[in-house]
Structure 1
Amino acid sequence: MPEPLAPGTLTGKTAVVTGSSRGIGADTVRSLARAGADVVINYRNKAPRAQKLANEVREQGVEALVVGADLTDAASLESMFTSVKETFGTIDILVLNASGGMESGMAEDYALTLNRDAQLATLDAAAPLLGAGSRVVFVTSHQAHFIRTTPTMPEYEPVALSKRAGEDALRERIPALTEKGIEFVVVSGDMIEGTITATLLERTNPGALSARREDAGKLYNVAEFAAEIAQAAVEAIPENNERIVGDVSGFTA
């Protein structure tokens, strides 16, 4: 696990983390706030949990804005970033963490809508608040990042393909972002212990988590992976704009 960001590293900076009322997003907010960043906590339908997180990080002496928004809805996105602008003015770090596609009762194209279209829409909505020196971080999984060359579990394949489509679409924006002095990095991790996705995969494919853990030698937990995301928000951009977290010996580039 990387060293936590030193207190004060991000003082005066504002970070937006989508899908951050729980799990990896919430721990990413904690890591960034401990480093001094003011934070925007985005949730879809868990307001009390988001408010509880905001109260927790405010004890670090930072500001926290809680904004409910459905990233697949244009009006909801516009309202979210209007609130961000009114509160903070600009954004220094945008973490595109929200994802899904394994939920029950959703439309057939929901995974692609959320994991590709909504990621682009979120970036576009945030763009007027991003300036030279700001950074966009896209969070993904090895199962999605390497899906073009390494098959994954059938239960996860539609999500993996949609997240890779989102990554590809965002990468097409790199030249335009670079022209504005905005940096972009992908953070890819293996199956993460304790996440909703891992739980759902284990439910539909019993033994999947333990098998992957055995193959990899170690799986990161939520806090460990969130610390990597926080580091990705400040460290130099790696080769090919990607930060690969954990073992990849079972994946073909």
Structure 2
Amino acid sequence: MSQTQSPSAPRLAGRTAIVTGGSRGIGAAVARRLAADGARVAVVYRSNSNEANAVVESIRKTGAEAIAVQADVADAASVNTMVTTVREAFGAIDILINNAGILEGQPVGEIDQTSFDAQFRTNAFSVILVTQAVLPHVPARGGHIVNVSSSLVYRPRAGLAVYAASKAAVDGLTHAFAVELGPRNITVNAVAPALTRTDMTAPIPDEVKDRMRESTPLGRLAEPEDIADAIAFLASDDARWVTGRTLKTDGGFI
């Protein structure tokens, strides 16, 4: 699966990557990091076109290639159109980062089907849809898929049962897809971040953030770049012998 390159070539030179939820937070950091490693990057967004275009512009200023593509990752037709656009722009697709997600908090007595369906469709079913759409365009040498799970799978918090369950589904899909796609030299892994400083987590009360910080051996919260660096490893041939695993990118949260 390894591809011979000159010693000075970026490790993702010649590769194409799709990053869903790439307009902000962890997704934006991942898009920038993969581009810095030499990949051509498709920044997929649902509604934040200005933010997505800003990420693309920041990548292009470095001399790397990037495009912004709108898609609803929970809708099959929209996903297929997005993948076709990326294919036409960049050719074969080597890397898929399934990062798009939503979080809605509800105590157990208030969980409703609308919120349940929305979180499972966006957080879990989208992993299926986007992976299915990308697979026909992965080259014969193989590729890498990285899904974004959550530390809440392992340490759920009150009011976030459905979100944690949807991310547990992501873990299950990750490990099962790895078994199925291994013969095609496609690795499938996940990262499970704890609380990360993004606009999605900005509304969380400071006292909760303080407790998280105090429970982390490194004494701080994660930055999006911390998660992006781990994803970049799993998206490269440096991780060619790692598949079917979820990496806890939680700073040792205890």
Give the alignment's TM-score, normalised by structure 1.
0.85
Q: Tell me the equivalent position of 2:248.
A: 244
Contact map agreement 1:101 1:114 (CA 8 A) in 2: no
Residues 246 and 162 of structure 1, relative CA distance in 2, 3 Å threshold: closer
What are the residue-to-residue correspondences of 1:166-177 with 2, within 5 Å? 166-177=170-181
SS in 1 for 2:248: strand
RMSD after superposition: 2.2
Displacement over 3 Å in runs of 4+: 103-106, 237-240, 246-249
Which runs of no fewer than 5 residues in structure 1 stay unpaired? 1-5
Q: Which amino acid aligns with 2:214?
A: E
Which runs of no fewer than 5 residues in structure 2 stay unpaired? 1-7, 107-111
SS in 2 for 1:230: helix
Per-residue deviation, residues 13-40 of structure 1 (Å, max 9, x unmatched): 1111100011110011111111111100
SS in 2 for 1:154: coil
Q: Tell me the equivalent position of 2:4.
A: none
Distance 2:12 2:244 in 1: 25
Query: Number of aligned pairs?
Result: 236
Match of 2:198 among 195, 199, 211: 195
Distance 1:216 1:181 in 2: 36
Q: Tell me the equivalent position of 1:82.
A: 84
Per-residue deviation, residues 202-221 of structure 1 (Å, max 9, x unmatched): 24xx5221111101133221
Contact map agreement 1:36 1:60 (CA 8 A) in 2: no
Contact map agreement 1:41 1:65 (CA 8 A) in 2: yes
Compare 60-69 and 232-241 and name the one that shifted more: 232-241
Per-residue deviation, residues 21-76 of structure 1 (Å, max 9, x unmatched): 11110011111111111100000001111112111101222221210000011111
Q: Does 1:111 align with 2:119?
A: yes
Per-residue deviation, residues 147-204 of structure 1 (Å, max 9, x unmatched): xxx4x22222210111111221232222221111111111122211x2234224x24x
Residues 153 and 133 of structure 1, relative CA distance in 2, 3 Å threshold: same
Contact map agreement 2:44 2:70 (CA 8 A) in 1: yes
Distance 1:30 1:177 in 2: 27
Match of 2:70 among 62, 68, 71: 68
Give the alignment's TM-score, normalised by structure 2.
0.85
Q: Does 1:182 align with 2:215?
A: no
Compare 176-185 and 37-46 and name the one that shifted more: 176-185
